[in-house]
Amino acid sequence: MSEKSLLDEAKEIWPRAYAPYSGFNVGAAIRSPSGKIHVGVNVENAAYPEGTCAEAGAIAAMIAAGDTEIAEIAVVGDAPDPVTPCGGCRQKIAEFAPKGTRVTMGTMKGEALTLTIEDLIPHAFAKAQMEG
């Protein structure tokens, strides 16, 4: 039996999103260096646009489980082109993803695009910029 891809993990969690306002579900899955998988979905709120992105949910699950580094992340939505993380989520991913970390963005129909975190957010704000 073959191991599920990270994109498959994101697709599996995707239906659990709570998106009654936009109608646009997003699923995310993170693999930590230990091999653990952490998933998240977008969760909207009546005070739209308040809510949580799938990537942020997966990062929160990763931190709650005791992991602090993203080895790889996948994000999926039901769109004609691969769904990319919003700007805020790109920054959140960059906080925990070392250079070279793969970010795979996909569609429910199987199209995918994989970039490194530095390709996705080439000039991310980092902790080093706050140090004197």
| Number of domains composing the chain | 1
Instruction: Judge whether 94 lies within some domain.
Output: yes
Q: Across the chain, what does the average pLDDT equal?
A: 94
Instruction: Judge whether 1 lies within some domain.
Output: no
- In CATH, what number is assigned to the domain containing residue 109? 3.40.140.10
- pLDDT for the residue 132: 64
Distance CA 105, CA 114 (A): 6
Distance CA 119, CA 42 (A): 24
Distance CA 120, CA 81 (A): 16
Kindly tell me if the per-residue pLDDT of 105 is higher than 60. Answer: yes
The verdict on whether 72 is a catalytic residue reads no
Tell me the per-residue pLDDT of 26-75, one tens digit each, with 9 for 90 and over: 999 999 999 999 999 999 999 987 899 999 999 999 999 999 999 999 99
Instruction: Judge whether 115 lies within some domain.
Output: yes
- Alpha-helical segments (H) within the chain: 6-13, 54-64, 87-96, 117-120
First to last CA, the chain: 52
> pTM score, two decimals?
0.93
- Percent of the chain whose predicted confidence (pLDDT) is above 70: 97
Task: Give the pLDDT mean for 11-22.
Answer: 97
For residues 36 and 131, the model is more confident at 36
Boundaries of domain holding 24: 6-130
- pLDDT for the residue 96: 97
> Which of these is catalytic: 9, 44, 55, 72?
55
Task: Give the pLDDT mean for 103-114.
Answer: 97
